[in-house]
Amino acid sequence: MNVRLGPYSVRLAPRALLAGVALLLAGCLVAVAAISTGEFTVPVPDIITALFGQGTPVAELIVSKLRAPRVVTGLLVGAAFGMSGAIFQSLTRNPLGSPDFIGFTAGASTGGIIAVVAGGSAMTIAGGALAGCVITAALVYALAFRGGVQGYRLVLVGIGANALLLAVNSYLLTRANINDAATAGAWLTGSLSGRGWDHAIPVAIALAVLVPVCLYVARPMRMIEMGDDAAKAMGIRVEPVRAVAIAAGVLLSGVATAAAGPVIFVALAAPQLARRLTRSPGVTIGASALMGAVLLTGADLAAQRLLAPTQLPVGVLTAAIGGTYLALLLRKDRH
């Protein structure tokens, strides 16, 4: 279905559009459930009034100060991970081509651990995670570049970098004192606990800048999925598009990790689940972002409510779900 917007024409797939609306509604429902439920139940009308500063002091404290920032951070971080995974799975043409496997998340973890060991604040840890992700991505890109970057070479180099960085992280933890090691270990799990507006706002700003970039390169990336030669024949400047896409994916992964820690498997599973839901022939950026937001926020809600009184970090639950999904994915590919 083609929709004309002045001189421009936009092609919309009805199933993809319906899937996007369904994911958007699912995200809203999960967000409302996360804000309204808990030890202190807040009815939906009270949530609305509290968000506009007209609720009771208790409702405003619970909604505006405690639950809403955590939920918004989860939605934004999940969307960032989903888009990052979609970008790298499209570029590598491999369902395992996600930041979790090609070293970028491990690099962010290394930067965060170094900041913890150096006695840094929460802001310093976030900056260290972002810097570690960017530096690792630059090294992986440089090592994988041989007259261009092929998907399989990027995956292989990234897997090697990931293994090396995991060893470095383990070494840093063994050399740190017990308090720093405990702090770093808790951060490495990935959690939305204690997240406030100071965590959500930087992710929102990053998404406002990077989402238009991702949408701009989405169409050329779909053509690159058919092969570099075919894309060049259609007038696509392959390496500049690939470089811009990698930079956007790295920044999305780095910002998300800086805000919530290295929450694994969201970037891996969200694009594949979105692809199956939309029945798209390739990875879709928008649906992957919505799926990532729903997955992360839903996992955090389950970790808080379904496992009460024990509240697990969201990274533990996403690891369990993602590991199961990875096993099923590998089994399907074997057949």
Predicted local distance difference test score (pLDDT) of residue 228? 76
Write the DSSP assignment of 1-69 as a string of letters.
-EEEETTEEEE--HHHHHHHHHHHHHHHHHHHHHHH-SSS---HHHHHHHHTT-S-HHHHIIIIIIIHH
Predicted local distance difference test score (pLDDT) of residue 4? 52
Predicted local distance difference test score (pLDDT) of residue 93? 84
Residues 218, 204: Cα–Cα separation, whole Å = 20
* Of 129, 262, 258, the residue nearest 186 (C-alpha): 262
Predicted local distance difference test score (pLDDT) of residue 334? 54
Mean per-residue pLDDT pooled into runs of 10, the chain (335 residues):
51 78 94 90 88 84 90 96 93 84 91 87 88 93 80 86 93 89 87 90 95 90 82 84 91 93 90 87 86 94 77 84 74 59
Predicted local distance difference test score (pLDDT) of residue 1? 53
Predicted local distance difference test score (pLDDT) of residue 189? 87
Domains of the chain, with CATH numbers? 1-61 (no CATH), 75-334 (1.10.3470.10)
Torsion sign (Cα): 87, 271, 203, 115: negative
Which residue shows structure tokens 């390169």? 217
Predicted local distance difference test score (pLDDT) of residue 98? 86
* Of 172, 200, 217, 230, the residue nearest 293 (C-alpha): 200
